[in-house]
Amino acid sequence: MPEAVITADRLVKAYRSKGKPDFVAVDGLSFEVAPGESFGLLGPNGAGKSTTMKMIGAVSTRTGGDLRILGLDPDQYGPEIRSRLGVVPQQDNLDGELNARENLYIYGRYFGLPGKVCHQKADELLAFAQLEDKAKSKVDQLSGGMKRRLTIARGLINDPRILLLDEPTTGLDPQARHVLWDRLFRLKERGTTLVLTTHYMDEAEQLCDRLIVVDKGRIMAEGTPASLIRQHSSREVLEVRFGSDRNEQVAPRLEAVGDRVEVLPDRILIYTADGEAALERITAEGLEPLTSLVRRSSLEDVFLRLTGRSLIE
Site of interaction with other proteins (CB under 8 A): 2-5, 15, 35, 57, 59-61, 70-72, 77-85, 87, 89, 91, 93-98, 102, 106-107, 109-114, 117, 121, 124-125, 127-128, 130, 154, 156, 158-159, 161, 186, 190
DSSP string over 37-75: -EEEEE--TTSSHHHHHHHHTTSSPPSEEEEEETTB-HH
Contact 39, 223 (CB under 8 A): no
Closer to other proteins by CB, 46 or 252: give it. Answer: 46
Q: How far is the CB of 35 from other proteins (least distance, A)?
A: 7
Alpha carbon distance 197, 204 (integer Å):
8
Closer to other proteins by CB, 189 or 313: give it. Answer: 189
Closer to other proteins by CB, 123 or 274: give it. Answer: 123
Q: How far is the CB of 219 from other proteins (least distance, A)?
A: 23
Alpha carbon distance 238, 63 (integer Å):
44
Alpha carbon distance 148, 256 (integer Å):
47
Residues 6+ apart with CB under 8 A from 204: 40, 42, 198, 211, 225, 299
CA angle 104-151-217, nearest 5°?
140
Closer to other proteins by CB, 4 or 237: give it. Answer: 4
Closer to other proteins by CB, 3 or 248: give it. Answer: 3
Q: How far is the CB of 135 from other proteins (least distance, A)?
A: 14
Q: How far is the CB of 77 from other proteins (least distance, A)?
A: 7
| Selection from 54, 113, 48, 117 nearest residue 82 by Cα | 54
| Selection from 203, 153, 201 nearest residue 177 by Cα | 203
- Burial call 35-48: b when 16+ CB within 10 Å, e when fewer: eebbbbbbbbeebb
Closer to other proteins by CB, 191 or 243: give it. Answer: 191
Closer to other proteins by CB, 87 or 228: give it. Answer: 87
Q: How far is the CB of 223 from other proteins (least distance, A)?
A: 24
Q: How far is the CB of 117 from other proteins (least distance, A)?
A: 6
Alpha carbon distance 308, 25 (integer Å):
20
Q: How far is the CB of 123 from other proteins (least distance, A)?
A: 9
Alpha carbon distance 189, 101 (integer Å):
25
Q: How far is the CB of 120 from other proteins (least distance, A)?
A: 9
Closer to other proteins by CB, 29 or 187: give it. Answer: 187
Residue 308 φ/ψ, nearest 5 degrees? 70, 10
Alpha carbon distance 230, 137 (integer Å):
48
